[in-house]
Amino acid sequence: MRPQVVAHRGASHEKAEHTLGAYVAALDAGAEALECDVRLTADGHLVCVHDRDLRRTAETRGTVSTMNLDELSQLDFSAWKNPWGELDDEAEELDADHRTVLTLRRLFEMVRDYERPVEIAVETKHPVRYGGLVERRLVELLREFGWAGKDSPVRVMSFSWAALQRVERMAPDVRLVQLIERAHMWPMLRAVIGRDWLVGPGIKELREHPGLGRRLVESGREIHVWTVNTRADLELCRSLGVTAVISDRPGYMLELLDG
């Protein structure tokens, strides 16, 4: 069985990450799931943004947690990907909603209304200003969409064991993925994570520490790997029997897998 192809922040190799355009491109390429990072705005909205500050993706010194959604909506989250776009007569003309900040609600709506089933992997970032309120708001949104049960298309990921525990207490049927940043952390995490939790190692750790892959396979858990962008890395994942590969290049991964 081949791994599920998950679009990392959308089709982020070609499009500005976490924008609506990146996710539309990922779905057009055939991605079977979408991955996003979420942070909480000052007025309580979950938005799809990776970094705590906006210098890299919106060219401002602002911090997501101190800004309201209306303020974030005034920023261009796409220009950094193609800084010379305004000077290029052949550059693609982007719709306004492909430039602005993307809320998790809007991403959920797109997936709910899409023509084929699509899953979503939501990563909560920590440490953050609002702590466990991030998970509380996420679970509230899952319940609103009817996605807090066993048949939910959403799984929640985090490097924070405590964050995943919070989700488990509020929505025990939602699938959880313990992300692993360093190979040496696995023995400690294995002792404390839930029996049914999935694991999400980085491809770099799997390459540099072959024993990690073997130990994860031996644990009998599903393995979801980030961020897989090359043929060699995909082959390593397939040799370990991973069940999902999270990639900036979902179309390329599907081409390698399905020809």
Residue 18 is predicted with a pLDDT of: 98
Q: What is the pLDDT of residue 115?
A: 98
Decide if 59 is inside a domain.
no
68 contact partners, CB below 8 Å, separation of at least 6 = 41, 42, 43
pLDDT per position as a tens digit, 116-127: 999 999 999 999
Does residue 254 have a pLDDT over 80?
Answer: yes
One-letter identity of residue 168 = E
Residue 79 lies in a domain: no
If 0-12 CB within 10 Å is exposed, 13-18 middle and 19+ buried, where does residue 110 land? middle
**95 band by pLDDT with thresholds 50, 70 and 90:** confident
- Mean pLDDT for 174-191 is 97
Place of tokens 């959403």: 154
Is 92's pLDDT higher than 90? no
pLDDT average, residue stretch 30-51: 98
| Residue 96 located in a structural domain | no
Higher pLDDT, 82 or 50: 50
- Catalytic residues, by residue number, are 8, 50
| Burial of 30: CB neighbours in 10 Å, binned 0-12, 13-18, 19+ | middle
Structure confidence at residue 96 as a pLDDT band (50, 70, 90): confident
| Three-class DSSP category at 212 | helix
Q: What mean pLDDT do residues 187-197 have?
A: 96
Q: Answer yes or no: is 57 within a domain.
A: no
The chain-wide mean pLDDT, for the chain, equals: 95
> Which residues form the domain of 129?
4-50+104-258
pLDDT tens digits for 209-243?
Answer: 999 999 999 999 999 999 999 999 999 999 999 99
Q: What is the mean pLDDT of residues 69-96?
A: 79
pLDDT greater than 80 at residue 84: no
What type of residue sits at position 257?
A: L
pLDDT of 259: 85
Q: Is residue 115 part of a domain?
A: yes
Domain at 198, CATH number: 3.20.20.190
Q: How many domains does the chain have?
A: 1
Residue 55 lies in a domain: no
Tell me what pLDDT residue 121 has. 99
